[in-house]
Amino acid sequence: MEPRLFANDGCLWKPDLIFGKDHKIAVIDVTVWYENDSKALEIAWQEKQEKYKHLNAEVTELTGGVDPKYFGFMMGARGKWLDMNNHLMKFLGVERYDTFTQKTSRLTVSLTT
């Protein structure tokens, strides 16, 4: 079930994933995006990274963590892995994300074609 967070103004926000471990918090917005130019994924990643930052207080209250980090997780509809996703993998402590990258890219292609 996706988290449901209410901002101070009463608006409902639903980040896709919130991971927490040892007071480290990652708020993640996942998207499969059609790459219509070389910068489309990077722009979308930056937008996703900013989308939930105004919910710091709500995220820390929900998780008990401190200083949440915000990430977009973008996959191109044709399987493109955005290098910016590696920031999330490192933050989560995923050491061998090369294999994850390949499998996720293949899965994305198989589900979107």
Q: Tens digit of pLDDT for each residue in 78-108?
A: 888 888 888 999 998 888 777 777 778 788 7
Angle, helices 97-112/85-92, rounded to nearest 10 degrees: 130
The encoded tokens of residue 70 equal 């915000």
Residue 24 has pLDDT above 80, yes or no: yes
CA angle at 43 for the pair 94 and 36, rounded to the nearest 5°: 105
Kindly tell me the burial class for residue 101, based on how many C-beta atoms sit within 10 Å of its own C-beta (0-12, 13-18, 19 or more): middle
Domains and CATH numbers, the chain: 5-112 (3.30.70)
Q: Tens digit of pLDDT for each residue in 53-75?
A: 999 999 999 999 999 999 999 88
| Residue that has been written with the tokens 């103004």 in this structure | 9
What pLDDT shows up at residue 113? 66
